[in-house]
Amino acid sequence: MEKLIITAAICGAEVTKQHNPAVPYTVEEMVREARSAYDAGAAIIHVHVRWDDGTPTQDRGRFKVIMDAIRAELPDVIMIPSTGGATGMKPEERLQPTELFPEMATLDCGTCNFGDEIFDNTMPTMRAFGKRMIENHIKPEYECFEMGHLDTILTMARKGEVPGHPMQFNFVLGVPGCSPATVQNLVWLANSIPAGSTWTATGVGRSAFTLAAPAIVMGGNVRVGFEDNLYLSRGVKARSNGELVEKVVRLSRELGREIASPAEARAILGLTGGPNCPIR
């Protein structure tokens, strides 16, 4: 079985310091949390950005400053900027990080309920995102929150509307209003992707580690981090993203899988741009 790729989603767009004081907003805090996750074993940092007051933004300049700062501290780490942003943002606003030519970026695979909000990803929006990633030679990580999202994006790939093989999927399960974080759902999704594809499991909230364990034994990869879950265990808040990554590392080694370095993760994911892919 291939080594486990761990992604750390270090801040997201919704959680705040009121939820957990360690949630990063500033450039320095983002670098601190990226470093804590990397040192613990994360090969990938999933990047949302905030202004210093915690307001989520998709501002191109803010992404550049933060991604440059992380790259200066962690030269080989893989960064996956978000094109999801926060609910209510317009598509062109959300697309700004793709103007920096990252080696990867997220591409959300359909509209869904997102707690009390609606996360709007129409077919025209997804076609526009796919076109941009094809033009800018960006490998998408396909974010599937619902079972039907997978069929939608596979159909688009067959039509050439989004980048195709080899594909990387992130199955985000347990968002209120979306598909539950069950082993049955994870197995169905993992068994439905094209041969040669790779996949990651993200369990939201209390499902973070109960979904991580089956993903590890099934040969998938795992995402954890403050975007998805603030707790190390019931009632115990994590003091850093690194603590959440460390728990996945312990689980994986107990279950017999070693942890992938960024270089090994690039090989598994079929990335060719390397760590010095331009951030313009």
Note down pLDDT in tens along the chain; length 280 residues: 899 999 999 999 999 999 999 999 999 999 999 999 999 999 999 999 999 999 999 999 999 999 999 999 999 999 999 999 998 999 999 999 999 999 999 999 999 998 888 999 999 999 999 999 999 999 999 999 999 999 999 999 999 999 998 999 999 999 999 999 999 999 999 999 999 999 999 999 999 999 999 999 999 999 999 999 999 999 999 999 999 999 999 999 999 999 999 999 999 999 986 555 544 3
pLDDT given for residue 280 in this prediction: 39
First-to-last C-alpha distance (Å) of the chain:
37
In a domain, 64, yes or no: yes
- Domain containing 25: what range? 6-269
Q: Does some domain include residue 212?
A: yes
d(CA 94, CA 83): 5
**What CATH number is given to the structural domain containing 14?**
3.20.20.70
19 in any annotated domain: yes
Residue 158 lies in a domain: yes
Residue 277 lies in a domain: no
Q: Which amino acid is at 177?
A: G
pLDDT reported for residue 115: 85
- Here the tokens at position 187 are 């197995």
Q: Which amino acid is at 166?
A: P
How far apart CA 232 and CA 205 sit, in angstroms, is 10
Tally of domains in the chain: 1
Q: What is the pLDDT of residue 272?
A: 81
Q: How many helices (H) and strands (E) does the chain have?
A: 9, 14
- Tell me whether residue 222 is in a domain: yes
pLDDT of residue 275: 58
How many CB atoms lie under 10 A from the CB of residue 108? 27
Asked if residue 276 is part of any domain, the answer here is no
For residue 279, what pLDDT is reported?
46
pLDDT recorded at residue 276: 52
d(CA 5, CA 42): 7
Are 277 and 101 within 8 A, CB to CB? yes
Domain membership of residue 278 (yes or no) is: no
Query: 10 Å Cβ neighbour count for 208?
Result: 26
Q: Where are the beta strands (DSSP E) in the chain?
A: 6-9, 44-47, 49-50, 56-57, 78-81, 104-108, 112-114, 117-119, 139-144, 168-173, 198-203, 221-224, 231-233, 236-237
| Alpha carbons within 13 A on the beta-carbon side of 120 | 10
